[in-house]
């Protein structure tokens, strides 16, 4: 699980709360994005550069389970891991903890495809063989 | 689509786009909330009043599939329907279309529980029997 | 004041509140944008079409005074009016009321310039004379 | 730049961009909040604790000038400084730079008051004399 995962930390901002006094549930989808782009940046290639190369990686699905709410001022850690890659699509999974705690607050998963600037699918193996090998490597490292 | 569903319409705002030129995927979770609260307002009770009565309805899970992207200026319709209610939890499902089009853009589902102001679960049947009956009726109407 | 202004109405969404139980102050800047784009759509040209023509209208400054807070479920009206246009820059002003009330909740102002797709300034008079005349007309109508 | 200021750094997130390809202007108001709360946390008292003590510090006005746009992946520094405090109101000012650059991207200012949990004004000198002295000290330190 190690090599293909990152632990992304961040504090909760005031504007991320709602009138229930907890983080609004939509914001976790944004936290997932922050963590996923850190994973890509560290393990694959800076995502801003990927977009310059003409690769965009939109989200095809997202799932999130809210177990324990998170509050303003909390510091969270998002355990983030690439779980699937078949050359055309990939999946990333997320587990959010309070920093320095074993309590699991949120789990989630997102699906992605690889598109060019015209929003057409990219065959990664043919067009970007080096990135393809890296992506395969990330998933093979699992378990 | 039956008595237990609402069709919620809204325009896409500029600030809801991202640099891909489409609506950022996290915003659909917010559109779902808008539609769900309209469903509660119309079929059950004004949600602001429910919170005054001490009932809060947080999200326990959310799922979203992104089929066709939506753009700034588009007008969308969100077909929203309560699909499960067992006295303690409920589920709501969503289908987003472009207005005046058959094209399905997004589907989703959310799960909810009923809590009091101290974030303790509420047994709706005992504490709020009228709301309980209405909620049951909404789900029975399906198919 | 009439001809050059619009009254834009919208409801407050749950996700626009924060843990103070009121609308987060940053969201008013978004409400201003919604109202401003409605003003452009109705009085000038659909803003999505303007961007297709290669005109973008970024914000150069924004100011907002918070007088009375607004809550989830409230319906607000944003009185929106173009107040300056000199061929290169424009200013828009905003006054937010509770619907069906005289109470002024928020006032604000925003400044804008006209850029092409390469983010270079556009001389509206030369490049888009018809839009230029319309914009001038909007401001002349004031008082 | 004195003792009464902080330099707050953060990266720009993807979801903070809009279809112009730059950070949406409303998000700077949120960056200001992040920086201001860091200033309070470091120089005065953890803001989450202040709210527990029954002090809330809403925003009475905000101003922002957009000089140079900021993009996804950029790292910004927000020079943040308390500029006024009279026992009832305070003002904070902000200057945003690209990290490792002299280029000033955004400037801004925000005004605040001190309210209790019932949204009534607090006389800081009488109710919270220690915080009052600290706040006065912060402003006196300015040149």
pLDDT at residue C52, as a whole number = 93
Average pLDDT on B106-119 reads: 95
Q: What percent of chain B has pLDDT over 90?
A: 89
Question: 3-state class of D30 per DSSP?
Answer: helix
Question: 3-state class of D28 per DSSP?
Answer: helix
- To the nearest whole angstrom, how far is the Cα of A68 from the nearest Cα of chain B? 9
- Those residues with Cβ within 8 angstroms of residue C49's Cβ, 6 or more apart along the chain or in another chain: none
pLDDT at residue A80, as a whole number = 97
Residue matched to tokens 């009488």: D126
Which position has the higher pLDDT, A84 or D140? Answer: A84
Question: 3-state class of C97 per DSSP?
Answer: strand
Q: Write the CA distances from D17 to A78, B109, C17, D58, integer angstroms.
A: 22, 27, 21, 26
Count of beta carbons in the 10 Å neighbourhood of residue D25: 24
pLDDT at residue C40, as a whole number = 96
What pTM, to 2 d.p., does this model score?
0.96
pLDDT at residue C1, as a whole number = 44
Report residue B49's pLDDT band, with 50, 70 and 90 as the boundaries.
very high
Q: Does the pLDDT at position B1 exceed 50?
A: no
pLDDT at residue A4, as a whole number = 80
CB contact under 8 A, A66 and B61: yes
Using alpha carbons only, give the angle C130, C131, C137 rounded to the nearest 5 degrees.
Answer: 95
Q: Does the pLDDT at position A2 exceed 70?
A: no
Average pLDDT on B107-117 reads: 96
Q: Is B63 on the interface with A (CB under 8 A)?
A: yes
Average pLDDT on B41-48 reads: 94
Residue of B19, B37, B58 to mutate when probing chain A, most A C-beta within 10 A: B58
Over residues A27-75, the pLDDT tens digits come to 999 999 999 999 999 999 999 999 999 999 999 999 999 999 999 999 9
DSSP string, chain A: --TTEEEEEEEPPGGGB-TTSSB-THHHHHHHHHHHHHHHHHHT--HHHHHHTT-B--EEEEEEEE-S---TT-EEEEEEEEEEE-SSEEEEEEEEEETT---EEEEEEEEEE-B-TTS-B--HHHH-HHHHHHHHHHHHT--
pLDDT at residue A3, as a whole number = 72
Report residue B142's pLDDT band, with 50, 70 and 90 as the boundaries.
low
Neighboring chain C residues of D30 at a CB cutoff of 8 Å: 26
pLDDT at residue B141, as a whole number = 61
Report residue C119's pLDDT band, with 50, 70 and 90 as the boundaries.
confident
Give chain B as a 3 state SS string.
CCCCEEEEEEECCHHHECCCCCECCHHHHHHHHHHHHHHHHHHCCCHHHHHHCCCECCEEEEEEEECCCCCCCCEEEEEEEEEEECCCEEEEEEEEEECCCCCEEEEEEEEEECECCCCCECCHHHHCHHHHHHHHHHHHCCC
Give the C-alpha separation, B32 to B37, whole Å.
Answer: 9
- Chains in touch with C (3+ beta-carbon pairs under 8 Å) read A, B, D
> Chains B and C: how many Cβ contacts under 8 Å?
28
Instruction: Give me the interface pTM, i.e. the ipTM.
Output: 0.94
Give the C-alpha separation, A49 to A55, whole Å.
Answer: 9
- Contact between C82 and C112 (Cβ < 8 Å): no
Q: Which residues pair with D95 in a beta bridge?
A: D79, D107
pLDDT at residue D1, as a whole number = 43
- Those residues with Cβ within 8 angstroms of residue D141's Cβ, 6 or more apart along the chain or in another chain: D2, D3, D4
pLDDT at residue A92, as a whole number = 97
Per-chain mean pLDDT for chain C: 94
- Contact between D75 and D9 (Cβ < 8 Å): yes
Report the residue from C29, C56, C69 with minimal CB separation from D25: C29
- Contact between D40 and D82 (Cβ < 8 Å): no
pLDDT at residue A142, as a whole number = 61
pLDDT at residue D24, as a whole number = 98
Token output for A136: 């395969």
Q: Is A27 on the interface with B (CB under 8 A)?
A: yes
CB contact under 8 A, D26 and C25: no
Average pLDDT on A65-90 reads: 96
Q: Does the pLDDT at position C53 exceed 80?
A: yes
Per-chain mean pLDDT for chain A: 94
* Residue C14 DSSP code: G
Going from the first residue of chain D to its last (143 residues), give the mean pLDDT of each consecutive group of 10, the final group possibly shorter: 82 97 98 97 94 95 98 97 94 96 96 93 95 91 57
CA D97 to chain centre: 15
């Amino acid at each position: 699980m190690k090599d293909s995962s990152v632990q992304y930390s961040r504090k909760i901002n005031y504007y991320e709360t709602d009138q229930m006094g907890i983080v609004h549930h939509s914001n976790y989808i944004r936290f997932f994005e922050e963590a996923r782009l850190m994973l890509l940046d560290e393990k694959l290639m800076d995502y801003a550069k990927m977009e310059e190369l003409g690769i965009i990686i939109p989200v095809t699905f997202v799932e999130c389970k809210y177990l324990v709410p998170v509050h303003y001022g909390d510091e969270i850690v998002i355990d983030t891991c690439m779980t699937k890659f078949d050359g055309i699509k990939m999946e990333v999974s997320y587990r959010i903890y309070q920093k320095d705690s074993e309590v699991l607050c949120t789990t989630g998963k997102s699906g992605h495809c690889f598109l060019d600037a015209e929003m057409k699918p990219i065959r990664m193996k043919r067009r970007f063989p080096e990135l393809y090998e890296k992506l395969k490597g990330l998933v093979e490292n699992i378990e």
